[in-house]
Amino acid sequence: MAANTSFDLEEITVRQANQALQEADAGSFTVANPKGVHALVCGLDAPLEVSIDGHVGYYCAGMNKQAEVNVDGNAGTGLAENMMSGKVHVTGNASQSAAATAHGGLLVIDGNASARCGISLKGADIVVKGNVGHMSAFMAQTGNLVVLGDAGDALGDSIYEVRLYVRGKVASLGADCIEKDMKQEHHDQLRALLDAAGCEGVETSEFKRYGSARKLYSFNVDNVDAY
Amino acid sequence: MSNEDWGLRESYTFDRNTIHEIQRAANTGLYRIRGWGAKRPLPTFDDLVFLGASASRYPLEGYRESCNTAVTLGTRYAKKPIELKIPITIAGMSFGSLSANAKEALGRGASEVGTSTTTGDGGMTQEERGHSSQLVYQYLPSRYGMNPDDLRKADAIEIVVGQGAKPGGGGMLLGQKITERVAEMRNLPEGIDQRSACRHPDWTGPDDLEIKIQELREITAWEKPIYVKVGAARPFYDTTLAVKAGADVVVVDGMQGGTAATQDVFIEHVGIPTLAAVREAVRALQEIDMHRKVQLVVAGGIRSGADVAKALAMGADAVSIGTAALIAIGDNDPEYEDDYRKIGSAAGFYEDFQAGNDPAGITTQDPELAKRLDPVKGGHRLANYLRVLTLEAQTLARANGKSDVRSLEPEDMAALTIEAAAMAGVPLAGTGWIPGQNG
C-alpha cells in the first residue's frame, strides 16, 4: 500500500486529479479544496481509499468500481450515479438522484438525500441515515434502499424488485408500491446493511418494508387508472 | 377492390384504415402500439430536386474524377474522432428489440464499408462490439446495461435526449421479447414488460447536460466523441443547447425515424418532418458559428442516395439510417410472404416489431425465428445497399460539379412545393421565391 497521496484542487485541475486516480492501482488519497467541483473522482476502477475534504458537485464518484470514497461534506446531484461496486460515504447531505442506476456497491449518506434517491436502481445498496425526498426509488429495478428517517411522496413509484426499508414516516407510496411483511430474511438482510453502514443501536424491528405489488408488470388496460 | 365499383364512395375522413382502427380500439380498449415510423404522407426530400450543371456550373466526370465521401465526426473536443469512409451511419437499435444475429449483421455491413453502427436501449453486446469496427454507445434514460467498461470500449458516446419517432416518449419492450439474456443485461425479471424511461434519471435541462458530458469525458479520458441525439421537436433550440452543453456531434432525428414499439398516435402526431428539422439545425449551427465545427448527423426516413445528398446539401455532415438498414438485411422480405400472412400482415407492410414474431428473424428473440437471419449474408446485403447509397450520392454531387459530397449546398437545389421551399429554405422551382425569406 502506497503512502497517502494528497491532491489540492487549488493547485491541480479536476482532470489531473481524476487521471491520477484512474491510473492508480492501489493506495490512499486525499483531495483538498474540492469547493463543489463536478465529476470529481468519477470512473475509478481500483481498490483505492479516497478521502475528499469538503463539498462536491454533481456526479462525484460516478460509475465507481472497487474504490472506497469518503466525502467529508455535502454532495451535489447524481452522487455515485451508476456505481458498479465499492463504497461511497458522505458525511453531510446529498442532492437529487443519489446512486441513480447504480448496479452495485454501497452508498451511505449520513444526512438527508433529496428527491429521486435510488432512481432506476440496478442492484446497489443505499443507506440514508436521514430522510429521502419525493420519488425516491422511482422505477428502481433491484437492490436495497434503507432510510432511517422519513420518505417523501411517491416512494417506490413503478418499482420492480427493489427492497425498501423505512424507519420513519412515508408521505405516500407511488404506483404499484405496497407495504410488505418483514420476514426473517429481511431482518437479516437489513441488519447486514445497517452494520455495513455503521448504524449502531438501530433495531431492524423499527423498520417497515415496501416493495412492488407486481400488478403493473405487464401492461393491462384494466390498470389504466394507475398509470 | 371495392373502389372499382363507382357506386361505392370511400370517405376521405373515414377511410377504411380509419374505420378499422376505430373498430380495433372498440374491441380491445387499447391504443395501437407498433414499430416502424410515421406512415402518413409528409413533406420529404422527394420535394426537392438537384439542378445539376449548367452554363454557370460544370460537372465532374462520373467514372473518372474522384468525389470524396469520407467524413470525420467529433473534431471539437474528442482526442479520437471517428473517421468514416462514407457519410451514412447505422442508427441506434437495441439488442432486445433486435436479435443478436441482426445486431451482428448491422455491425458486419457497416464495417465492410467503413462506417459506424450504434447500440440501443439494451447495452452493448459482444456480437456488435466484435463485428463493428466503429461502435457508438448510446447513453439512454433507462441506462440498461450501462457500465464504464463498455463506455471505454466504445468509439463514441451518444447521449439520447429523444428520438424522432417519439420526442418526449419512453419505450416499452414487451414481455414476450424478454428472454433470460435480455433480462440479465437489463437487471430485470424475465418475461415482464420493461419500460424505458422518457427522461434521464440524473439530469434535467442543458445546464445539467453540460456537467453530464463533462463526467462522461472524465470517465473516458476525453478520448471519445460525444454525440447528443434529439428527436426533431425544436431543432433550432435543441441544436443550440446541445452545442452549448459541449456536444461534439448533434444528431437530429425527424419524425419519420423508426421505433421498435411506440403508440401509433405518438409516431404519427409528435415531432416534425426530417426535411423541416435539417434546415433549423443547420441555421442554429450557422448562427453560433459552429457549422462544420460541431458535426450534424440527420436521421429519419433516409432511403436513397438522393436523400443522403439532399441532407448533405442542406448542411448535414452525415446521415443515419435505421429502418432502411433493417430492410436491407431482410426485413419485410417477400420470401416470407406466407408467414407474414399467417400473422395478419404482408411483406411490405409488417410493422409489429414489438410482437417478437418477426418472420424475417430480425425484431425477435425467438431462437428459431432468429436463425432465419444469416448475419454474414445480412451484413453483406447491408454493405451492398450502403455502397449504392454512396454511389448515388456521388453521382448527384458530380452532376453538380462537386468533388466532395459535403460540398453540395442549398443553391444546388430547387423545391417542388411551396411547403418544401419554406421548410428547406431553397427557392420554389422556376422562381427565386423562398417563402418567409423574400416575400
Quote the distance between the C-alpha of residue B160 and its chain's center. 12
Q: Is B167 contained in some domain?
A: yes
Q: Is the pLDDT of residue A218 over 60?
A: yes
The length of chain B in residues reads 439
Measured CA to CA, the distance from residue B190 to residue A217 in angstroms comes to 11
Task: Identify all chain B residues contacting A140, using CB atoms and an 8 Å cutoff.
Answer: none
Kindly report, residue by residue over B67-105, the tens digit of the pLDDT: 999 999 999 999 999 999 999 999 999 988 899 999 999
The answer to whether the CB atoms of A122 and B28 lie below 8 A apart is no
The confidence score (pLDDT) of residue A156 equals 98
List all residues 6 or more positions away from B49 whose beta carbon is below 8 Å from its beta carbon: B413, B414, B416, B429
Q: How far is B175 from chain A (nearest CA, A)?
A: 7
Q: Domain with B176 in it: what CATH number? A: 3.20.20.70
Q: Is B5 contained in some domain?
A: no
The confidence score (pLDDT) of residue B438 equals 72
Q: Is B8 contained in some domain?
A: no
Task: State whether residue B343 sits within 8 Å of chain A by CB.
Answer: no
Measured CA to CA, the distance from residue B82 to residue B75 in angstroms comes to 8
The confidence score (pLDDT) of residue A215 equals 86
Task: Give percent of chain A above pLDDT 70.
Answer: 95
Q: Is B7 contained in some domain?
A: no
Give how many domains chain B has, as a whole number: 1
Task: Identify all chain A residues contacting B77, using CB atoms and an 8 Å cutoff.
Answer: none
Task: Identify all chain A residues contacting B186, using CB atoms and an 8 Å cutoff.
Answer: 141
The answer to whether the CB atoms of B202 and A221 lie below 8 A apart is no
The answer to whether the CB atoms of B192 and A84 lie below 8 A apart is no
Residue-number span of the structural domain to which B207 is assigned:
38-424
pLDDT under 50: residue ranges of chain B = none
The answer to whether the CB atoms of B202 and A101 lie below 8 A apart is yes
Task: State whether residue B211 sits within 8 Å of chain A by CB.
Answer: yes
- Side-chain half-sphere exposure of A45, counting CA atoms within 13 A: 11
Q: Is B435 contained in some domain?
A: no
Task: Identify all chain A residues contacting B208, using CB atoms and an 8 Å cutoff.
Answer: 58, 77
Task: State whether residue B115 sits within 8 Å of chain A by CB.
Answer: no
Q: How far is B405 from chain A (nearest CA, A)?
A: 38
Task: Identify all chain B residues contacting A84, using CB atoms and an 8 Å cutoff.
Answer: 147-148
Residue to substitute from A107, A141, A144, interface B, most B β-carbons within 10 A: A141
Q: Is B430 contained in some domain?
A: no
Backbone φ, ψ for residue B253 (5° rounding): -110, 115
List the grid coordinates of A36: 463543489
Backbone φ, ψ for residue B361 (5° rounding): 75, 20
Residue to substitute from B218, B224, B226, interface A, most A β-carbons within 10 A: B218
Q: How far is A42 from chain B (nearest CA, A)?
A: 6
Grouping H, G, I as helix, E, B as strand and the rest as coil, residue A67 is coil
List the grid coordinates of B42: 409528409
Task: State whether residue B376 sits within 8 Å of chain A by CB.
Answer: no
User: Which neighbouring-strand residues pair with B251?
Assistant: B229, B297
The confidence score (pLDDT) of residue B64 equals 84
Q: Is B18 contained in some domain?
A: no
The alpha carbon dihedral of B41, B271, B332, B327 has a sign of positive
The full set of domains in chain A, from first to last, is: 5-197 (2.160.20.60)
Task: Identify all chain B residues contacting A217, using CB atoms and an 8 Å cutoff.
Answer: 175, 189, 192-193
Task: State whether residue B177 sits within 8 Å of chain A by CB.
Answer: no
Interface of B with A in 29-48 (CB under 8 A): 29-30
The confidence score (pLDDT) of residue B171 equals 76
Task: State whether residue B189 sits within 8 Å of chain A by CB.
Answer: yes
Rounded to a whole number of angstroms, the CA Rg of chain A reads 18
Q: Is the pLDDT of residue A221 over 70?
A: no
- Closest residue in B to A13 (Cα) is B218
Q: How far is A87 from chain B (nearest CA, A)?
A: 16
List all residues 6 or more positions away from A147 whose beta carbon is below 8 Å from its beta carbon: A128, A131, A132, A136, A164, A165, A166, A167, A168
The answer to whether the CB atoms of B143 and A120 lie below 8 A apart is yes
Maximal CA-CA distance, chain A: 63
The confidence score (pLDDT) of residue A227 equals 60
The answer to whether the CB atoms of B142 and A120 lie below 8 A apart is yes
β A27-32/A48-53 pair status:
parallel
B371: how many CB neighbours lie within 10 A of its CB?
11
Q: Where are the strands (E) in A39-141, listed by range?
A: 48-53, 68-71, 87-90, 106-109, 122-128
Q: Is B291 contained in some domain?
A: yes
The answer to whether the CB atoms of A101 and B174 lie below 8 A apart is no
Mean pLDDT is lowest, of A80-89, A217-226, B156-165, for: A217-226
- Predicted ipTM > 0.90: yes
Q: How far is A205 from chain B (nearest CA, A)?
A: 29
Q: How confident is the model at residue A1 (pLDDT cuts 50, 70, 90)?
A: very low
Q: How many CB pairs under 8 A join A and B?
A: 103
The answer to whether the CB atoms of B201 and A160 lie below 8 A apart is no
Task: State whether residue B433 sits within 8 Å of chain A by CB.
Answer: no
Task: Identify all chain B residues contacting A142, using CB atoms and an 8 Å cutoff.
Answer: 187-188
Residue to substitute from B190, B202, B211, B219, interface A, most A β-carbons within 10 A: B202
The confidence score (pLDDT) of residue A3 equals 66
